[in-house]
């Protein structure tokens, strides 16, 4: 019969004996930054596609100026986030002297992600529809 100690080692949530080593915070933070960067790239590509659809519809489409401006701001913020993520990923979290700066950069990146998400909510609300039809041409009147 197994002892109480052996049984408790198999309970859910117990890391087990092979996971007793402390987590490398720098490795964890780097993986987190890389994952955020990948999501940023995906959103960047989606916004580029949306911008192309708006430009294809032409300036006669509804909310054209607002959508071009919002998508442009979103793309610029995403570029800034990408640079921040690269800087964060390259810094060593285990160095105590860099932890305060990393915390500040992480807070900035989080704020940029929030603002970009809100902007993209408005982009979605204004709607970008790719109709498949060529942009409307202004009609000319014959006098």
CA angle, 119 as apex, 118 and 123 as ends, to 5°?
120
The arithmetic mean of pLDDT across residues 117-139, rounded, is 73
> Which residue would you say has higher pLDDT here, 120 or 1?
120
- Reported as a pLDDT band with limits 50, 70 and 90, residue 71 is very high
- Reported as a pLDDT band with limits 50, 70 and 90, residue 111 is very high
Give me the pLDDT at residue 117, please: 92
The arithmetic mean of pLDDT across residues 121-131, rounded, is 78
Give me the pLDDT at residue 6, please: 46
- Reported as a pLDDT band with limits 50, 70 and 90, residue 133 is low
pTM: 0.66
Rounded to whole angstroms, the Cα distance separating 8 from 4 reads 6
Rounded to whole angstroms, the Cα distance separating 90 from 110 reads 17
* Residues 74 and 63: beta-carbon distance below 8 Å: no
Helix 64-90, helix 25-57: angle, nearest 10: 160
**Residues 82-108 pLDDT 10s:** 888 888 888 887 788 888 998 899 899
**Residues 47-69 pLDDT 10s:** 998 899 888 888 888 888 999 99
In the chain, what are the domain boundaries?
A: 24-126
């Amino acid at each position: 019969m197994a002892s109480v100690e052996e049984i408790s080692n198999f309970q859910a949530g117990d890391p087990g004996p092979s996971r007793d080593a402390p987590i490398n915070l720098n490795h964890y933070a780097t993986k987190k930054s890389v994952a955020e960067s990948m999501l940023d790239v995906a959103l960047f590509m989606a916004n580029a596609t949306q911008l192309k659809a708006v430009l294809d519809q032409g300036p006669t489409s509804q909310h054209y100026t607002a959508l071009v401006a919002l998508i442009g701001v979103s793309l610029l913020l995403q570029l800034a986030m990408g640079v921040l993520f690269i800087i964060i990923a390259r810094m060593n979290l285990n160095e105590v002297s860099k932890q305060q700066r990393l915390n500040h950069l992480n807070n900035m990146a989080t704020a940029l992600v929030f603002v970009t998400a809100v902007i993209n909510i408005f982009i979605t609300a204004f709607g970008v529809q790719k109709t498949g039809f060529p942009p409307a041409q202004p009609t000319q009147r014959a006098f």
